[in-house]
Chains A and B, each alone.
Chain A
Amino acid sequence: MNRTKDTARFARIADKVRANEALDADDGLFLYTYPDLLAVGALANERREALHGDKTFFNVNFHINPTNVCVADCKFCSFARLEPDAPAAYTMSIDEVKQKLLDRMDQPVTEIHIVNGLHHHLPLDYYKDCLRELKALRPDIHLKAYTAVEIHYFAEKYGMSYTQVLSELKEAGLDSMPGGGAEIFAERARRKLCRGKADADEWLAVHRAAHELGIRTNCTMLYGTVETLEERIDHMLRLRDLQAETGGFQTFIPLAFHADNNSLQKLPPPTGVDNLRTYAVSRLMLHNIAHIKAYWIMIGIKTAQISLSFGVDDLDGTVQEEKIYHMAGAETPQALSRVDLVRLIREAGRVAVERDTLYNERWTDDGEALDGIRIDASLPYSTQGQGVRLNVL
């Protein structure tokens, strides 16, 4: 590569970004391969700060997966069971679903995230009842439910249009939709990964229908499997085009593939630099999608913290009120306490904001002492932690 030429090209891309112009596929690929990772990161950070300043969002939700029985057999999936009677296969009764919420009635949860496998013979009413009963218990709680893959499956199975399915679910209490099931759109990769589930056009059509009904959605990309960099960029561009049409996406969530317990175990997982690069490129390519979210459970809290300087403005993962984890631990915990999450955001020089599903701000970190500890990002480093010197030694 010619260094001077590259630098000039990077500068042209930076100009486009600053003018909020759409980048093209070549720009995206160039950013993915430009040797100066931090320059790409800094540009994404500039964009992130222009959109959100130092705000770093999180929300407090919990997940319900009413069934893990699924007719599809996606290669990367360690959740689904093919048959209802397979070992470890389960399907909850509506009462069991309700119990999940009843167990948490006193917790300040603002959202329930519900996704399922594609069950062989559950009726649509089952899915509607789930929503209705949960709403009845806590009308204030936001129901973010069912991926486009499920909606597509329902539509085919019950002979309905996407709009019909979605309207009925909305009527039953559906507030918004998660972004799952997008995986990677490119046909070649998709065939290898998840033959038989909603294809790219179908996935996008479901979201289009949802947006038209006023249902906001998220979108995802699974990376680090068999796809090429071109295919990642292509994925982003297809999302961007739909967004230009409808404006209904809130957040893009790149999902690093993890070879836990599935048939792709031999692939090396995407690692630090690839993860950061993907966040940064997403932030730059998806100029019309407001938020970029990182799942710290997948990439580890350390990389997640660094990602806040590479375009990410939203952190996701289980947040608990009580203290369960010490920052110095090496392994990624299953959940973070609110205090630890806010602290890690502060340490990165950002301001934590608790949001609801639609990004209404519920609480903003005012720098008050957490757990007796004050880490104030606006102060120079030399004064950090001084408030606690006396009582710890």
Chain B
Amino acid sequence: MTTETTPSQPSPTTLRVQAVSFLNARPLIHTLLDPKHAPRHADGTPMFEVVEALPSRCADALAAGECDLALVPVGAYADHPEWEVVPGVGIGCRGAVDTVVVCSRWPIEEVERVYLDGASRSSILLLKVLLHEAGLSPELVPVDHGVGEGLVADASTDGSGPKVAALIIGDAAFGVAGRFEHVWDLGTKWFERTGLPMVFAFWAARPGVLTPAHVTALQKARDRSLGKYAEAIAKHYRDELLASGEPGAAQALSEQAYATYLRKTIRYGLETQQREGLVEYLDRAREAELIDIPGLHPEDPVHIHFAGEAAPEVLVAARRRRSSRSPLDVDAILARAAAGERIDLAEGIYLYENAELMALGEAADQRRAQLHPEPIVTYIIDRNVNYTNYCVTRCKFCNFYVPPTDKQGRGYVLSKEQLAKKFRETEALGGIQILLQGGLNPELGLDYYEDLFRWTKQNFTLKLHALSPTEIIHIAQIEELSVEEVLRRLQAAGMDSLPGGGAEILDDEIRARISPFKNSTAEWLEVMRAAHGLGMRSSATMVFGFQETAEHILMHLERLRSLQDETGGFTAFITWPFQADGTRLKLRDDTSAFRYLRVQAVARLYLDNIDNIQVSWPTLGPEIGEIALRFGANDFGSVMIEENVVSTAGAHFMMTAKEIESHIRLAGFEPQRRTMQYGRVEAS
């Protein structure tokens, strides 16, 4: 996998596709089969040629190279981690799924034998995982598709035979729930255990065949079918069923019920939370020793390779500009940027790649002086409080989190007493704000935060610079509320502003590699947009050292800059190199101080609409912090009373306000205490 996204040459070849014909798969293939609307290459060649098949057949065909792309049960991925998965599209559920159910005349806990009714590998695996976790081990007996329900219905209840159940999936499962006393909907069971969505199938391809154009076409095909044709698909399905004369025909549901199934029950996305559920599922199967993924370190979560998506337009334009005739000139760009003029993406990339460190620094220093003519450098006294370290997200670069399943007692949620102590100490040290961040703890819902914030505001004078976008998204997902609603309620409870954490590099390809279950780029930006819209300010961050390219870095800045044009809500930008010690991410990249200064200077020049640049002394040390004040920064950050996420990964700098002031003076500036909004505070 390479991160260099070369402009895609539309390949005129047609991908051979196999897909399931189940009702729930139809929204994904309906448009692909539509002769008029099937996606085509620029020259008119169809992009896909679809053949319908059973789920297990699809996976085998893909493995055997009989097709290039297939809608496969996710369980098959365990044998083929090399497959590339189409991002954003899947077949799953959040809670009840209706079409993957175990039915019985006995409570499932008592069942001695389960008939597997021609089921797919994913659903059998899911059943095994759930049985394993419930401590149950009934005999599992495969039977032909369609006979399972009958075997259970006809079983004698007089105690002469075993207590039996059947796992029924797909269209045959419709209505089963109503015909038996005891039913496990595996979607519901999964959700109860994990709080996560379940994904049953996705589009997977042989490595290297998917282009961004294919990815976009598949995403659009799903949107189109679902947007306009759910009812038509439902009706068509029902008509077919009735005409077929199959035994199930007699039990056909209403058109409306099928449409609701497509629109509400089944979730066709494959976004952050679904990805999380997906990997959780494969991980639990692995833990239960039901599958083995070759070459994967036991502590690492399953890694799913997602195919790249199309480059954003602004980047395509920048590439065009860079390959055009008129050469760019470093000195000219620097002079314009130093004077506060806007430089475009192509120029930013060019600067980053070609300008000398010292020239960049001088330009950034000039720009800093223009924005902040007084020779003043600000800092804040606040305390970083990590209220919980339980986190479901398992980012590879993070050495702070403890999975909720941890059995060694390493996880914590701070009690009110512990928080109160920290808050009181902060006030006593002259602190005016709490930077409150934590892991994504599935146990903590919106009311936990509302209560915590209200309590803080009732008992302390501290400002709450709380919850990065990652946490906001997590809360929105577990509460099934919109991000905006979550923010509104948190704001009402006392939240003042948001830290800009969880951005790392705002590029989904990099994110998929380092933090596959963390929010996507768009989601992060969306939270910031919503928060700014509600009048809350936030900071913005960037962590580099994940083998990103100049394009990635500048695109990150570009995304921040254009959102800032829209909202004006960012107060400051902070960047630092990734601290690898003790994390699971064994990357080799340039994380030197030299590169840090370079990145920061470019950021000062590119982010012409963000007022403040903060040095990151906790990761680089106060000396580089001091030097960085000459490379575009005007803020020394915070007297970090504690900083768990970084310090567990190897940086251990602690300073008092006095030391910070001394470093600021040594760099030739006057220190000034500030608030989160960069208002000045008189030192007492």
Mark A residues whose CB is within 8 Å of B.
35-39, 41-42, 45, 268, 271-276, 299-300, 302-303, 305-306, 309, 326-331, 344, 347-349, 371-373, 375, 380-386, 388-390, 392-393
Q: Is the CB of B630 within 8 A of A303?
A: no
Complexed CA–CA distance, A68 and B352 (Å): 50
Return chain B residues, CB-CB under 8 Å to A393.
1, 513, 587
9 additional A-B residue pairs with CB within 8 Å, beyond A300-B621, A383-B4, A388-B547: A36-B365, A38-B358, A302-B592, A328-B578, A330-B651, A381-B549, A381-B550, A384-B590, A385-B547
Q: Is the CB of A347 within 8 A of B650?
A: no
Nearest CB of A to B294, in Å: 16
Q: Is the CB of A389 within 8 A of B626?
A: no
Return chain A residues, CB-CB under 8 Å to B566.
none
Residue A381 contacts which of B352, B621, B623 (CB distance < 8 angstroms)? B352
Known contacts A273-B630, A302-B621; A382/B353 CB under 8 A? yes
Mark B residues whose CB is within 8 Å of A.
1-4, 349, 352-354, 357-359, 361-362, 365, 513, 547, 549-551, 577-581, 586-595, 597, 619-627, 629-631, 649-653, 662-663, 666-668
Return chain B residues, CB-CB under 8 Å to A329.
581, 650
Q: Is the CB of B591 within 8 A of A327?
A: yes
Nearest CB of A to B428, in Å: 26
Return chain B residues, CB-CB under 8 Å to A383.
4, 549
Nearest CB of A to B114, in Å: 39
Q: Is the CB of A303 within 8 A of B623?
A: yes
Complexed CA–CA distance, A47 and B577 (Å): 30
Write the chain B residue with the least CB distance to A347.
Answer: B592
Q: Is the CB of B662 within 8 A of A268?
A: yes
Return chain A residues, CB-CB under 8 Å to B631.
38
Return chain B residues, CB-CB under 8 Å to A389.
1-3, 547
22 residue pairs A–B, Cβ–Cβ below 8 Å = A38-B362, A41-B361, A42-B358, A271-B663, A272-B622, A299-B623, A302-B592, A302-B593, A306-B594, A306-B597, A328-B577, A328-B579, A329-B581, A330-B619, A348-B594, A381-B353, A384-B590, A386-B4, A388-B547, A388-B588, A389-B3, A389-B547
Most chain A CB within 10 A, of B578, B593, B630, is at B593
Q: Is the CB of B627 within 8 A of A303?
A: yes
Q: Give the 9 A-B residue pairs with the shortest CB-CB distance, closest first.
A: A272-B623, A302-B593, A382-B549, A272-B626, A380-B353, A382-B550, A42-B358, A330-B651, A347-B592
Nearest CB of A to B399, in Å: 12
Return chain B residues, CB-CB under 8 Å to A45.
358
Nearest CB of A to B632, in Å: 11
Complexed CA–CA distance, A37 and B577 (Å): 24
Write the chain B residue with the least CB distance to A375.
Answer: B590
Q: Is the CB of A272 within 8 A of B590?
A: no
Nearest CB of A to B457, in Å: 36
Write the chain A residue with the least CB distance to B587.
Answer: A392
Nearest CB of A to B370, in Å: 14
Complexed CA–CA distance, A348 and B357 (Å): 9
Write the chain A residue with the least CB distance to B551.
Answer: A382
Residue B624 contacts which of A35, A272, A344, A348 (CB distance < 8 angstroms)? A272
Complexed CA–CA distance, A302 and B594 (Å): 8
Known contacts A272-B626, A381-B352; A328/B580 CB under 8 A? yes
Complexed CA–CA distance, A31 and B550 (Å): 35
Return chain A residues, CB-CB under 8 Å to B357.
309, 349
Return chain B residues, CB-CB under 8 Å to A36.
362, 365
Return chain A residues, CB-CB under 8 Å to B549.
381-383
Complexed CA–CA distance, A330 and B624 (Å): 11
Complexed CA–CA distance, A268 and B578 (Å): 29
Return chain A residues, CB-CB under 8 Å to B349.
382
